[in-house]
Every structure is written in structure tokens, then in C-alpha cells.
């Protein structure tokens, strides 16, 4: 992966970390070359934070039409969605159910991968109340949701071209008083009827992971160490060696409420996932890094992994099904060492596959 | 408007306002503020203000305060004589993260979570206090032994509460530490393994401050320790 701009350039383009709401929303003059972007935006972080605010909080959903290309593809672990009008319709549906959604920008970790072509990994915690109708979680229960999402976007000339969306949906289900296993089972049952070809995207995604040739961040790029650490743990099964590269006081935030401190807990999270998936492959597909306050550095890795569900664990008894997991890991580095790992993937969509949904009904190696 | 833009904003003044749930504190509170207080966790400025509006905490007129450019540590005493602590991460003068080391509220709770099996020690040669001075840029390296000893003291002081702690299986993790001259402050996560069958563990927060003499010995140390924090209900899919 080549970049047009070194990761630590343009320090005036600041992360949202440690900034007040008023400061984030204050309008500023342009301070970064953004060819073809709306003059409203001062820099790429401002573009991401402000357009999200305008669309979700100010309810100008139609701005999607000037911020996404017509042919935009949005990748999720529940399947891809294509076309701008699907983005508009999905946003309207979410807001009609959860109107008071606050979209809090935890961080925006970005890179300029070629001149004018930006990549942004936007970690969001959205807080909302179910006061409308949600197809999955009922009507006006008044229950609050506080789910973390990472939206990775490719942006050019004010338009999002492609997006990968990772949301902690199992946690969201629990907050809605729903059991993720039951929700996933129902989704899987529905997936098993109809044309199975509609799940072909999953096979294609897994084939890409299986055939992936890993290239690495340059050794002087902050993402180098996290990428190597993740690979050492999940691909070489050298968890102790990997952990020796992270802080003994590491803070860990993983999906479905996993939250703890220390190397032992960090190993526990990584090993729990890997122990359930044999014949495991990992693809680290994109990385970016940006400076944080207090001389810290933020790193974002987008990754995909797949393996055969052959070990017991929280997903239930082994099913022999081939499972796809895709997520984003946001790290905080201090003096080059990881002190925080916030990883987001959709564990509800993983469970959906475990229960045979999304085209995973046939065991690995079996008939499609 | 941020504290950085208005350097006259004193973080302690803003902290007092935040702990009382005053909206005026919002001018010096990060939009992403995470607050761990009273056995509750909030994310975002507005939820933190709501939390402290419903659970206000009034610091005394003369709390014990240590401040660096990146953190603020406050020890104080409640009306009934309990030592409590507040630790804030600062980013350009803005309160970016907050821990309150005190009693838990009657409505304390935490979200359900997938249980994770863990080995905090990775060796039979167990360290009671885990951390690395290199992770704490505002800490003088010579103060690290004091940080470790205070962590061990915190673990020993209140670990079991009714149940004897499994001394060799409990651990303090240094979450934050800094020093200012001969003063040192450290925030810990205590994982207390009780000596029961079946085994149970609970977690507490501890905040310690100390003065070191010329030999590096702690001559005056104070420790606040929280009540046991709520344990998440296990999620079984």
C-alpha cells in the first residue's frame, strides 16, 4: 500500500480525541488540500465528523446524495449493499427508529493513499433511544443503545466511493434485551430459504482472504508493530511473543462487552476467537496512523479472517462451517508500544454464519 | 471553545463543575469523555454530565491535588471520613477521561459481556503489580519502585473484604502514573481473586499518592480504594 502523504504530516489536522464538541463543530478555514471537496470542510477529519453530524444529527439525510457516489458499495459482514439510494433509505430507517442518535466521533484515523484519494477509519460510538420502530427490536421500547462502529471509507472529491462498516451488533442486541444467539438463529433460518446465490459475496470474500498475499507496513510506520503483533498471535500462535510487544497495562475493548486490562486479558480475547477457528487465515488489508494528543499515536488496521468452526467457545459447539470474520482494530501507541486495543467486528453476523446463515449452511469442504 | 484556547480555565475548577453535573463544565470536557464512576460507565460528554447531575460529588475546599500536563489526581475525604479519589486524563487542558475511586451507587451496574479466560501472570513467578515505567511519560523512572509498592499496598489493604484474598493470584495493574518533583500519583486496576471454591474474582480501582524522600522512600502515602465494581453478567450465545 503506497501513501501520498507521510502519516505524521499536517499536524494541524487533528484527531477528535480530547476535543470539545464546540471545538469540533466550529467552522475553520481550509487547512489541507482537498481537491473537489465542499468549501465547508477544513480538512479530511472535519469532512468525516461534520458530514456525519449533518446527516445523522441535523437530519439532512439527503446530503448522502452529495457525499456518496451513485455506485457506492458498502461492505458489512451481513453482506454488501450497493447504490446511493440504499444508503439514504438505510439512514432514514435508522433515524425513524432512533431519532435522538448522537454520533460521537471517537477518532478518525486517516491516510491519503494517492493524491486526492483519502482513506478514513472513523470510530463512532452512537447513543440512541428506540422511540420508533426497529424491524428487529420492536417498537418504542425506550431502551437506549450505545454501540461502537468503525466506518472505513474511501473518499475522493467530497464523495465516499466505498465503505466497510463494522458494528458491535451483538452488544446492541443485548442492550435491546434480545439474546444475540436467538436473533442470529432467526436470521440464519431466513437465509436458508430463497436463492443461495445471493450469499455468493461471502464465498468470494473468503476466497480473497485464503489467497491473500500479505504485504506489511514499512518498518518505520507506526502500523508495522501492530500488524506484526496481530499476525504473530493469530497466524503463528505465538501469543506470549505477541504480548511482549504490547504494554503490560494494555486496555482492551472488544465486541460484546469484553473490556479488561493487562496482557492476560488481551491474549484471552485473541485466543478465544482463534481457538474456535481452525485452518485460519488472516488478511490485513489496510492501515493508517495519525498523531494523538500527549505524543500518542493512533493506528487503524482493517482485517478479514476466516477459518473452520471446529473448536468450542462462546459461539457454541463446533459446526464445521467455514466462518468469515472482518473487523477493524484501533490501537493507541505510546513510545511505539500498544497501550490500547479497541477492536470492532460484528459478532452477531458471525453467529448468523455459525447457525448456517449467509450461505454458511454447508460444512467446510461440503457441497455449496 | 476548549481549555487550550482559554488557558485561564483551571482543570480543577472544571473538574469540580463536572462532578456536580454543571453544564458549564462542558467547555473543558472532551466530547468523547468516558467516565467510570460509582460503578457506572458513561461515554460522551452529555451522558457524563447527566451521571454527575444525578450523582453529584462535591469535593471539599482543600482536596489533595497533584497535576501534570497530562493528568490530574485528586484525593479527598467524604463527610464520613472515607478517602476517595478522582483521576482525570487531560489532553491540551481538556478533561478527556475520568475515573472516580469511591463507593458504588445503589444503581451501579455494567453491561453483560462474553466471559474471557485469562492468565494475568504468564508465569509461576508472579508479579503482584504489573506495569512498565516506559508507559508513563510523565513519571520519573526513579519513582517506579514507589508506584509498584503502593500498588501492592493497595492490593493488600482491601483486597478480600470478607473473603480472604488468594494473595498470589491477585494483581494490581498500573493504569496511569506520573510524578511531580518528589510527589507521585498512580491509578490501579485491582483484580482480586478470592480464595473460594469455585473461584471468584472481583475488580476495584485504587488511586495512590505519595511523597518520596531523598532516598526514594515513601514518607507519606495515601490510598483511595473503590468498592468492588459490578461484574458483568456472562453472555452465552
Q: What is the per-residue pLDDT across B48-95, written as a single tens digit (0 to 9) for each?
A: 999 999 999 999 999 999 999 999 999 999 989 999 999 999 999 999
Mean pLDDT of A233-245: 97
Q: How confident is the model at residue B2, as a pLDDT? A: 41
What's the DSSP call for residue A318?
A: -
Say yes or no to pLDDT of B117 above 70: yes
Given CB atoms, is B31 within the 8 Å cutoff of chain A? yes
Say yes or no to pLDDT of A365 above 70: no
Our CA-based measurement puts residue B79 at a distance from the nearest CA of chain A, in whole angstroms, of: 32
Q: How confident is the model at residue A231, as a pLDDT? A: 98
Measure the CA dihedral B185/B190/B195/B199, to 10°: -170
Nearest to B216 by CA among B153, B149, B143: B143
d(CA A106, CA B90): 16
Torsion angles phi and psi, residue A67, rounded to 5: -125, 0
Mutate to test the interface with B, among A50, A182, A262 (most CBs of B within 10 A): A262
Q: How confident is the model at residue B157, as a pLDDT? A: 81
Residues of A142-155 as b/e, b for ≥16 C-beta within 10 angstroms? ebebbbbbbbbbbb
Q: A112-121, A356-365, B97-106 — which is least confidently predicted?
A: A356-365
Q: How confident is the model at residue B35, as a pLDDT? A: 97
Q: A45-49, A75-79, B25-29 — which is least confidently predicted?
A: B25-29
Nearest CA in chain B to A334: B135
Across chain B, the runs of DSSP E, i.e. the strands, are 29-37, 40-43, 64-67, 71-77, 83-91, 94-101, 129-130, 171-180, 183-194, 200-212, 218-225
Band of the pLDDT at B6, cuts 50, 70, 90? very low
Q: How confident is the model at residue B163, as a pLDDT? A: 58
User: Among partner residues B28, B32, B115, which is closest to A106 by beta-carbon distance?
Assistant: B32
Nearest to A354 by CA among A142, A157, A77, A72: A77
A265:B32 CB<8 A: no
Our CA-based measurement puts residue B43 at a distance from the nearest CA of chain A, in whole angstroms, of: 8
Q: What angle do CA A299, B137, B83 make, to 5 degrees?
A: 110
Nearest CA in chain A to B32: A106
Nearest to A297 by CA among A154, A34, A107: A107
Q: How confident is the model at residue A192, as a pLDDT? A: 94
Given CB atoms, is B80 within the 8 Å cutoff of chain A? no
d(CA B18, CA A203): 51
Q: How confident is the model at residue B158, as a pLDDT? A: 66
Mean pLDDT of A216-238: 97
Mean pLDDT of B146-155: 94
Which residues, including other chains, have CB under 8 Å from residue B217's CB and lie 6 or more apart? Answer: none
For A321-350, the DSSP string reads BEEEEEEEEEEEEETTEEEEEEEEE-HHHH
A104:B171 CB<8 A: no
**B contacts of A293 (beta carbons < 8 Å):** 91-92, 96
Say yes or no to pLDDT of A5 above 90: no
Residues making up chain A, counted from first to last:
368
Q: How confident is the model at residue B198, as a pLDDT? A: 85
Cell numbers at A81, concatenated? 449493499
Q: How far is Cα of residue B237 from the mean position of the Cα atoms in its chain?
A: 32
Say yes or no to pLDDT of A197 above 60: yes
Say yes or no to pLDDT of B1 above 70: no
Q: How far is Cα of residue B231 from the mean position of the Cα atoms in its chain?
A: 17
Q: pLDDT tens digits, residue range A50-84? A: 999 999 999 999 999 999 999 999 999 999 999 99
Say yes or no to pLDDT of B125 above 90: no
B173:A261 CB<8 A: yes
Q: How confident is the model at residue B76, as a pLDDT? A: 97
Instruction: Establish, for the pair of chains A and B, how many residue pairs have beta carbons separated by less than 8 Å.
Output: 158
**Cα torsion A60, A64, A65, A66: sign:** positive
Say yes or no to pLDDT of A349 above 90: yes
Given CB atoms, is B68 within the 8 Å cutoff of chain A? no
Q: How confident is the model at residue A368, as a pLDDT? A: 39
What's the DSSP call for residue A30?
A: -
Q: What percentage of chain B carries pLDDT values higher than 90?
A: 75
Q: What percentage of chain A carries pLDDT values higher than 70?
A: 98
Q: A222-226, A248-252, B17-21, B121-125 — which is least confidently predicted?
A: B121-125
B120:A337 CB<8 A: no
Say yes or no to pLDDT of A157 above 90: yes
d(CA B190, CA B159): 8
Q: How confident is the model at residue B232, as a pLDDT? A: 95
B1:A260 CB<8 A: no
Our CA-based measurement puts residue B226 at a distance from the nearest CA of chain A, in whole angstroms, of: 17
Given CB atoms, is B92 within the 8 Å cutoff of chain A? yes
What's the DSSP call for residue A34?
A: -
Given CB atoms, is A260 within the 8 Å cutoff of chain B? yes
**A contacts of B134 (beta carbons < 8 Å):** 335, 337
d(CA B88, CA B96): 7
Nearest to A206 by CA among A142, A281, A287: A281
Mean pLDDT of A104-124: 97
C-alpha pair distances (Å), B91 with each of A15, A103, B3, B71: 11, 21, 9, 8
Given CB atoms, is A269 within the 8 Å cutoff of chain B? yes
A20:B137 CB<8 A: no
Nearest CA in chain A to B191: A261
Q: A125-134, A146-155, A183-192, B1-10 — which is least confidently predicted?
A: B1-10
Band of the pLDDT at B200, cuts 50, 70, 90? confident
Q: What is the pTM of this model?
A: 0.96
Q: pLDDT tens digits, residue range B158-188? A: 655 555 666 678 999 999 999 999 999 999 9
d(CA A265, CA B110): 18
8 A C-beta contact, residue A25 and residue A50: yes
A334:B5 CB<8 A: no
d(CA B132, CA A335): 12
Torsion angles phi and psi, residue B8, rounded to 5: -75, -15
Residues of B171-189 as b/e, b for ≥16 C-beta within 10 angstroms? bbbbbbbbbeeebbbbbbb
Interface of A with B in 137-156 (CB under 8 A): 146
**A contacts of B191 (beta carbons < 8 Å):** 261-262
d(CA A30, CA A232): 42
Q: A18-32, A171-185, B195-209 — which is least confidently predicted?
A: B195-209
**A contacts of B29 (beta carbons < 8 Å):** 20
Given CB atoms, is B125 within the 8 Å cutoff of chain A? no
For B125-172, the DSSP string reads S--SEE--GGG-TTS-GGGHHHHHHHHHHHHHHHS-TTS-B-GGG-EE
**A contacts of B114 (beta carbons < 8 Å):** 255-258, 272, 314, 347
Mutate to test the interface with B, among A20, A21, A264, A350 (most CBs of B within 10 A): A20
B27:A22 CB<8 A: yes
d(CA A351, CA A180): 8
Interface predicted TM-score of the whole assembly (ipTM), two decimals: 0.94
Band of the pLDDT at B4, cuts 50, 70, 90? very low
Instruction: Between A138 and A214, name the one with better pLDDT.
Output: A214
Cell numbers at A258, concatenated? 469484553
Residue with cell 481538556: B94
Given CB atoms, is A312 within the 8 Å cutoff of chain B? no
User: Among partner residues B1, B112, B116, which is closest to A272 by beta-carbon distance?
Assistant: B116
Given CB atoms, is B95 within the 8 Å cutoff of chain A? no
Band of the pLDDT at B3, cuts 50, 70, 90? very low
Interface of B with A in 166-205 (CB under 8 A): 171, 173-175, 189, 191
Say yes or no to pLDDT of A24 above 60: yes
Amino acid at each position: 500500500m503506497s501513501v501520498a502523504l507521510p502519516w505524521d504530516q499536517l499536524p494541524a489536522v487533528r484527531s477528535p480525541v480530547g476535543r470539545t464538541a464546540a471545538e469540533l463543530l466550529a467552522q475553520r478555514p481550509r487547512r489541507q488540500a482537498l481537491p473537489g471537496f465542499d468549501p465547508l470542510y477544513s480538512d479530511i477529519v472535519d469532512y468525516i465528523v461534520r458530514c456525519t453530524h449533518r446527516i445523522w444529527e441535523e437530519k439532512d439525510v439527503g446530503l448522502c446524495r452529495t457525499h456518496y457516489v451513485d455506485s457506492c458499495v458498502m461492505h458489512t459482514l451481513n453482506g454488501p449493499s450497493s447504490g446511493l439510494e440504499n444508503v439514504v433509505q438505510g439512514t432514514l430507517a435508522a433515524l425513524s427508529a432512533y431519532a435522538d442518535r448522537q454520533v460521537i466521533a471517537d477518532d478518525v484515523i486517516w491516510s491519503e493513499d494517492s493524491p486526492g484519494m483519502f482513506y478514513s477509519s472513523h470510530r463512532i460510538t452512537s447513543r440512541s433511544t428506540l422511540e420508533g420502530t426497529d424491524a428487529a427490536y420492536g417498537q418504542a421500547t425506550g431502551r437506549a443503545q450505545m454501540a461502537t462502529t468503525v466506518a472505513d471509507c474511501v473518499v475522493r472529491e467530497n464523495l465516499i466511493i466505498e465503505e466497510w462498516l463494522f458494528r458491535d451488533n451483538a452488544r446492541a442486541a443485548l442492550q435491546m434485551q434480545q439474546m444475540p444467539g436467538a436473533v442470529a438463529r432467526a436470521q440464519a433460518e431466513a437465509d436458508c430459504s430463497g436463492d443461495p446465490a445471493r450469499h455468493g459475496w461471502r464465498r468470494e470474500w473468503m476466497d480473497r482472504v485464503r489467497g491473500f498475499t500479505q504485504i506489511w507496513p514499512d518498518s518505520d510506520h507506526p502500523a508495522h508493530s501492530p500488524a506484526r503483533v496481530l499476525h504473530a498471535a493469530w497466524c503463528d500462535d505465538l501469543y506470549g511473543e505477541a504480548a511482549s510487544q504490547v504494554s503490560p497495562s494494555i486496555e482492551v475493548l472488544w465486541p460484546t462487552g469484553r473490556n479488561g486490562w493487562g496482557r492476560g486479558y488481551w491474549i484471552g480475547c485473541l485466543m478465544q476467537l482463534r481457538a474456535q477457528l481452525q485452518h485460519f487465515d488472516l488478511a490485513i488489508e489496510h492501515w493508517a496512523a495519525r498523531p494523538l494528543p500527549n505524543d500518542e499515536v493512533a493506528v487503524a488496521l482493517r482485517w478479514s479472517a476466516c477459518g473452520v468452526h471446529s473448536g468450542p467457545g462462546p459461539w457454541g459447539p463446533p459446526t464445521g462451517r467455514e466462518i468469515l470474520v472482518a473487523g477493524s482494530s484501533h490501537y493507541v501507541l505510546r513510545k511505539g508500544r500498544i497501550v490500547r486495543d479497541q477492536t470492532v467486528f460484528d459478532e452477531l453476523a458471525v453467529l448468523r454464519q455459525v447457525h448456517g446463515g449467509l450461505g454458511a449452511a454447508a460444512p467446510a469442504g461440503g457441497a455449496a | 471553545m476548549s481549555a487550550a484556547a482559554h488557558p485561564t480555565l483551571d482543570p480543577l475548577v472544571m473538574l469540580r463543575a463536572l462532578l456536580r453535573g454543571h453544564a458549564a463544565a462542558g467547555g473543558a470536557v472532551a466530547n468523547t469523555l468516558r467516565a467510570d464512576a460509582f460503578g457506572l460507565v458513561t461515554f460522551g460528554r452529555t451522558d457524563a454530565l447527566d451521571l454527575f447531575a444525578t450523582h453529584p460529588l462535591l469535593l471539599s475546599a482543600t482536596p489533595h491535588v497533584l497535576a501534570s500536563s497530562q493528568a490530574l489526581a485528586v484525593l479527598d475525604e467524604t463527610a464520613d471520613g472515607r478517602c476517595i479519589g478522582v483521576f482525570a486524563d487531560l489532553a491540551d487542558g481538556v478533561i478527556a477521561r475520568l475515573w472516580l475511586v469511591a463507593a458504588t451507587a445503589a444503581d451501579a451496574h455494567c453491561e453483560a459481556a462474553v466471559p474471557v479466560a485469562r492468565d494475568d501472570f504468564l508465569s509461576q513467578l508472579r508479579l503482584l503489580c504489573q506495569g512498565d515505567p516506559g508507559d508513563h511519560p510523565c513519571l520519573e523512572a526513579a519513582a517506579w519502585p514507589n508506584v509498584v509498592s503502593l500498588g501492592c499496598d493497595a492490593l493488600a489493604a482491601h483486597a478480600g473484604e470478607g473473603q480472604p484474598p488468594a494473595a498470589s493470584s491477585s494483581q494490581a495493574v498500573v493504569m496511569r502514573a506520573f510524578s511531580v518533583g518528589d510527589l507521585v500519583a498512580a491509578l490501579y486496576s485491582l483484580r482480586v481473586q478470592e480464595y473460594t471454591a469455585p473461584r471468584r474474582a472481583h475488580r476495584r480501582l485504587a488511586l495512590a499518592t505519595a511523597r518520596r524522600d531523598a532516598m526514594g522512600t515513601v514518607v507519606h502515602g495515601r490510598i483511595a480504594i473503590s468498592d468492588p465494581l459490578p461484574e458483568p453478567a456472562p453472555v452465552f450465545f
